[in-house]
Amino acid sequence: MAAVRCQWALAELEQASISERTCNKVIATCGRQIQWQRAIQVLFQMVEVRQATSISCNSCMVACSRASHWQKALHLMRCLRGFIRHDGVTYKQAARAAGESSWRSGLRLLQEGFERMTEADVIHYDLALSLRQSAGSDHWPEALHLMKNMVEAQVQADVRSYSSSMTFEAAWPTIGLLFQDLLQRMEADEYTCNTAVSAAPWVRAWCLLRRKEHGMSVVSHNAAMAGTPWFKAVQVLHTLETGGLKLTAVSSGTILSQSRDMEWQRPLWFLSRCQSRDIQSNSIVQSNVLAAHVDSGHWQETLGNVMAYHSRGGNLNVALKTLSLSAFSQAASWQKALALSASERIDVVLLNALVTCCARVARWQEGLEVVCGSLVRHSLRASVVTFNAALSACAAGRQWQLAVNLIEEMEGQRLAPDSLTLNSMMLALGEAGFWQHAFEILKMFSSCSCEANVVSFTTAITACPAHQWPQSLVLVQQAASDAAGETSWAAAVTTLGRAVRWREAMCLGHIAMEGTHDAVMLAYATAVEKMSLEMRASCDSLPPVMGNACSEGCYQMLGGGSAQVTELRACKKELKELIETRNCHPILVRLAWHDSGTYDQRIKEWPQCGGANGAIRFDPEMNMGANAGLDKARGYLQKIHEAHPTVSWADLIQLASATAIEMAGGPVIKMKYGRVSVTGPEQCAGPQSRQGFKGNAGLPDAAPGADGTFGCGAKTPEEHLRNVFGKKMGFTDQDIVALSGAHTIGRVFKERSGACPFGYGEQAASKYTKGSCIVRKDKKSGCGMVGGAAWTKNWLTFDNSYYTDYKQAMDDDDLMWLPTDACLHEDPEFKKYFYKYAGDQAAFFQDYASAHKKLSELGCKFDPPAGFQI
Ligand code: HEM
């Protein structure tokens, strides 16, 4: 129709029977219909009859630009310069067209237009701003300059001017200032609101959202939620709902994407909130909720939900299906897992998860059947991962023949095996007693271009029959280069135990003791126990070839050492239960450190030198002011000691502390045991027994006294710490900073040290030490006795937040920061380590573990003298 109208207009034009106005209309119509050639034709005919004006030229340029022929538009402008007087609109039009390829040419044309027309309106400025915008974010100073020019030229900026200049990636303060300016002049539109909220720091964004007069939309709220921790996002959500806006699936998705960081009940509560507001759940939301619950072991609570969602016709995406399968496998509900997979469109990822699930609950047969069936039915191509999952199912089901078939099938499909494939194959063969074949596979690693890892060696060693024990030693040697070779050592010790090669087992055990490999020690102890009493007796007459080291290891492990190990391990188990139920990690750490903390390196005699000797259990030490509150911890350990009287108090106290650190998520400390305890109160360190210290046997003071000096006469906290830890106890600056990191857990009480205004009970608690606070590493509820003030927010979690969040601790009245903590980031020597640990948790854990071990051995007498590990 449009084409016909254009045709007609051209015909009329030839007869010069129509007016200039009609011609312009025709050009505009052609432009709308993307008939740019026709528009040009009309324009040139108008030029011929001298009817063309700047309006005709402008419409024609629009027609060309609309058809993406911006060069043509520019060409037109240039060609017609001699015939038509261009106006401001022509220049803007040309600038817009030129800006398509080069913002510089666009700006040049705008400038030219400005010089000729000598006036610039808001459209001119908006165009200049958007051209600058396409020039890149580093042009924001020019954008601001343009905004300033507008003010000077008394041109009223409009919302577009602001939104263009705010879109530059300038830092928040600039965007904030522009937005404030905009709000003073006019209503902000949704785009500017969103830009401001997304750029603003969280608190500012939240404040902006709460000032409802700006008409912030749901999108702005979502922008403020994105990238913030969930608990802040929930506050935004609250603002959204109190502002009368409706929660959307995007908002709920944003919050639930962090469901893994929440305590497990919260995602469910959140989901029901969405449901009560009729927000359609989707598989992303469901999988987020399920993921959080599977992680925290509360899969039952949501699995029902997911299934209900599924039965309502909700789509299960791959993540959701895989998670559901993992939940089913935890529930040992393999039938449900199979049913779920059968009802769904199956893919390779799901198949892999399914086999793993079945293998985990020892239903390898069913798993394999489904896999094989599905592969054929759905013409799927199995991946290496599928084969690996199937192979490990075969290994679990001792189905070596099937495993061999699978390997052949892999070869047929030209899939190269990886180390996991070979490991599973070795396991299947080893389990079936084909140790020679397992060894052959180990040799295949290099030809398959994959590396044998610790699992490979362990599997091969485990496959060794007793009479092949020398082979296990060869293999363990090969595995020894691997730092994680501990399990292969353990496997070798077990093989030697089976072969009753007790001397070799002891040698390995001793080497392991040096390297403190827990798993080897365990295997070693089990192997030793299995050996006959006769052999134990002959241990004392070891031939010299075994060396002194071996006989000492033999003595330690066989001569009563193993009984001590067993007792200490039993204590550790009970301690774990105690800590798990009472959440008393910090007080146990403090008890152990205050037992060691009496140590004075200037005193050479035992037990006068103090240290980790169990003296804190007696009143003279326990009643020292610095130890206020620690009798509670003594009470906890008393019961365990009564059940295990052969374990020394000194060992028990240190074991409790190391276990507490471990359970709070801290490093596993390679502790040594066998401490001899003091036997009576007369062996305690007297409060004033330490030269240069007024009291507390030289334990540190939380703050200087009324005269401004510490108990050692130091005027500054750093001097005090160096007197206590350096001069008295022999620690380095690095040790001091690392040990102080123990304050990442624990609290200060008004009733104990009196170093803070927060005390016992809910009423006197800080906002982070209330009964409802989640502070444990596993995000479970419970925090022991309520009250006091902590250094960090998650004060039952051992991490480096003591270093990373110190500014918060200083600013927040509900957190603790003692002068002795503050000097660690102020003193030039201390602060090197402080910032190192803030940036590197692994470094902190490593240095902390070594300083803690040193602290736990101060002033100790061990029996046997070399001590032992458990
Ligand atoms: C650097 C010098 C230190 C000073 C001035 C200091 C001071 C304090 C103070 C005042 C308390 C609060 C006691 C209360 O009111 O209940 C405390 C608690 C604690 N301290 Fe230290 N401490 C120092 C070093 C250490 C070290 C080296 C460790 C461990 C390696 C440690 C571990 C703890 C723990 C775990 C708590 C929490 C106890 C609880 O929650 O019951 N402190 N410390």
pLDDT number for residue 550? 36
CA 769 – ligand 1 centroid, Å: 16
Residue 619: per-residue pLDDT: 95
Which position has the higher pLDDT, 44 or 844?
Answer: 844
Distance 229 CA to ligand 1 centre (A): 30
- Determine the pLDDT at residue 45: 81
Q: Note the pLDDT of residue 540.
A: 42
Q: How confident is the model at residue 545 (pLDDT cuts 50, 70, 90)?
A: very low
Q: Which two tokens stand for residue 105?
A: 């040419």
Residue 47 above 70 pLDDT?
yes
How high is the pLDDT of residue 213?
58
Cα–ligand 1 centroid distance for 775 (angstroms): 18
The atom number, within ligand 1, closest to the CA of 717 reads 5
- What HEC string does 360-423 produce? HCCCHHHHHHHHHHHHHHCCCCCCHHHHHHHHHHHHHCCCHHHHHHHHHHHHHCCCCCCHHHHH
Task: Please compute the mean of the pLDDT values over residues 734-761 and round it to a whole number.
Answer: 94
Please report the pLDDT score of residue 598 as a whole number.
97
The pLDDT assigned to 726 comes to 97
Whole-angstrom distance, CA of residue 366 vs CA of residue 436: 30
* Phi–psi pair at 655, nearest 5 degrees: -65, -40
The pair of three-digit structure tokens given for residue 340, joined into one six-digit string: 């779920």
Among the ranges 69-73, 168-172, 748-752, which has the highest mean pLDDT value?
748-752
Protein residue whose Cα sits closest to atom 8 of ligand 1: 702
Higher pLDDT, 641 or 509: 641
pLDDT digits (tens, 9 = 90+) for 377-390: 666 677 787 788 77
Name the residue with higher pLDDT: 487 or 761: 761
Atom of ligand 1 at shortest range from CA of 633 = 41
Cα distance between residue 97 and residue 318, in whole Å = 47
Q: Identify which has the larger pLDDT, 781 or 11.
A: 781
Nearest alpha carbon, ligand 1 atom 5: 702
Q: What is the pLDDT of residues 159-181, one digit of tens each?
A: 888 888 887 766 777 888 888 88
- 300-359: per-residue pLDDT in tens? 666 666 767 766 666 666 666 666 666 666 555 566 666 666 655 556 666 666 666 666
Mutate to test the pocket of ligand 1, among 589, 724, 743, 783 (most ligand atoms within 8 A of CB): 743
Whether 516 shows a pLDDT value over 50: the answer reads no
> Which pLDDT does position 812 carry in this prediction?
85
What percent of the chain is predicted at pLDDT more than 70?
Answer: 77
Span from the CA of 639 to the centroid of ligand 1 (angstroms): 24
Lowest mean pLDDT: which of 42-46, 48-52, 371-375, 630-634? 371-375
Q: Is the pLDDT assigned to residue 564 strictly greater than 90?
A: no
Give the Cα separation of 672 and 753 in Å (integer).
31
For ligand 1, atom 11, name the residue with the nearest CA.
Answer: 748
- Is 542 strand, coil or helix? coil
pLDDT band (50, 70, 90) for residue 865: confident
**Is the CB of 585 inside a 6 Å radius of any atom of ligand 1?**
no
CB atoms within 10 A of CB 40: 20
| Arithmetic mean of pLDDT, 143-168 | 82
Distance from C-alpha of 341 to C-alpha of 824, rounded to nearest angstrom: 57
Contacts of 552-559 spanning 24+ positions with Cβ under 8 A: 552/510, 552/864, 552/866, 553/506, 553/507, 553/509, 553/510, 553/513, 554/506, 554/510, 555/864, 556/513, 556/864, 556/866, 556/868, 557/506, 557/509, 557/510, 557/524, 557/525, 557/528, 557/868, 558/506, 558/528
Ligand 1 and 711: CB distance under 6 A: no
Q: Which residue has a Cα nearest atom 6 of ligand 1?
A: 702
Catalytic residues: 594
Confidence band, pLDDT 50/70/90 cuts, at residue 418:
confident
- Cβ 720 under 6 angstroms from ligand 1: no
**From the CB of 629, is ligand 1 less than 6 Å away?**
yes
User: To the nearest 10°, the Cα dihedral for 104, 108, 109, 112?
Assistant: 170
Higher pLDDT, 296 or 383: 383
668-704 per-position pLDDT tens digit:
999 999 999 999 999 999 999 999 999 999 999 987 7
**pLDDT given at position 174:** 80
The secondary structure of the chain in percent helix, strand, coil, rounded to multiples of 5, reads 65, 0, 35
58 or 520, greater pLDDT = 58
Q: Which atom of ligand 1 is nearest to the CA of 752?
A: 15
Of 504-508, 526-530, 540-544, the least confident:
540-544
| 696 C-beta closer than 6 A to ligand 1 | no
Q: At what angle do helices 518-530 and 561-582 cross, to 10 degrees?
A: 130
User: How many Å apart are CA 575 and CA 561, to the nearest integer?
Assistant: 21
Question: What's the mean pLDDT in 697-712?
Answer: 84
Give me the amino acid identity at 600.
Answer: D
Residues 93-136: tens digit of each pLDDT: 888 877 777 788 888 887 887 777 656 788 888 888 888 777 77
Q: Averaged over 734-755, what is the pLDDT?
A: 95
* Alpha carbons within 13 A on the beta-carbon side of 417: 30
> 844 pLDDT band (50/70/90 cuts)?
very high
Per the prediction, the chain carries an average pLDDT of 80
Residue ID of nearest Cα to ligand 1 atom 29: 742
Mean pLDDT of 255-280: 74
Q: According to the model, what pLDDT value does residue 527 have?
A: 56
Write down the pLDDT at residue 432.
Answer: 83
- Give the residue, out of 590, 593, 752, with the most ligand 1 atoms within 8 A of its beta carbon, to mutate for a pocket test: 590
Count of alpha carbons within 13 angstroms of residue 505, beta-carbon side: 30
Distance from the CA of 811 to the center of ligand 1, in angstroms?
20
Contacts (Cβ under 8 Å, ≥6 apart) of 664: 585, 745, 777, 796, 797, 798
- Which atom of ligand 1 is nearest the CA belonging to 587? 41
Using the mean position of ligand 1's atoms as its centre, give its distance from the Cα of residue 805 in Å.
18
Take atom 17 of ligand 1 and give the residue whose Cα is closest.
748
pLDDT of residue 565: 83
pLDDT at 801: 97
Q: What percent of the chain has pLDDT over 90?
A: 30
Rounded CA gap, 5 and 19, in Å? 15
For residues 185 and 843, the model is more confident at 843
* Residue 119 CB coordination number (10 Å): 11
Q: Is residue 842 very low, low, confident or very high in pLDDT (cuts 50, 70, 90)?
A: very high
Residue 844 CA, ligand 1 centroid: distance in Å: 18
Q: Which residues are paired to 787 by β-bridges?
A: 760
Closest to 855 measured CA to CA, from 592, 516, 667, 653: 592
**More reliable by pLDDT, 653 or 715:** 653
pLDDT at 214 (0 to 100) = 65
Q: What pLDDT, on a 0 to 100 scale, did the predictor assign at position 548?
A: 32
Amino acid at 359: A
Tell me, what amino acid is at 99?
Answer: G
Residue among 582, 585, 591, 593 whose CB has most ligand 1 atoms within 8 A, to mutate = 593
From the CB of 766, is ligand 1 less than 6 Å away? no
Count CB neighbours of 680 within 10 A.
Answer: 9
Q: How far is the CA of 739 from the centre of ligand 1 (A)?
A: 10
**Comparison of pLDDT for 225 and 578, the residue scoring more:** 578
Cβ of 740 below 6 Å from ligand 1: yes
CA distance 826 to 830: 7
Q: How far apart are CA 312 and CA 577, in angstroms?
A: 43
564-856: CATH number: 1.10.520.10
pLDDT at residue number 658 = 97
Q: 753 C-alpha vs ligand 1 centroid, how far in Å?
A: 9
Q: Is the pLDDT of residue 452 over 60?
A: yes
| Helix orientation angle between 218-225 and 230-242, rounded to the nearest 10 degrees | 170
pLDDT value of residue 525: 59
C-alpha torsion sign, points 577, 580, 582, 583? positive
d(CA 823, CA 820): 5
Which protein residue has the closest C-alpha to ligand 1 atom 12? 748
Angle (CA) 864-869-870 rounded to 5° is 120
Mean pLDDT to the nearest integer, 57-78: 83
Three-class secondary structure of residue 166 per DSSP = helix
Amino acid, res. 456? S
Higher pLDDT among residues 785 and 511, named by residue: 785
**Domain locations in the chain as residue ranges:** 467-559, 564-856
Lowest mean pLDDT segment, chosen from 277-291, 528-542, 763-777, 796-810: 528-542
pLDDT grade, residue 810 (50/70/90)?
confident
Res 591 pLDDT > 70: yes
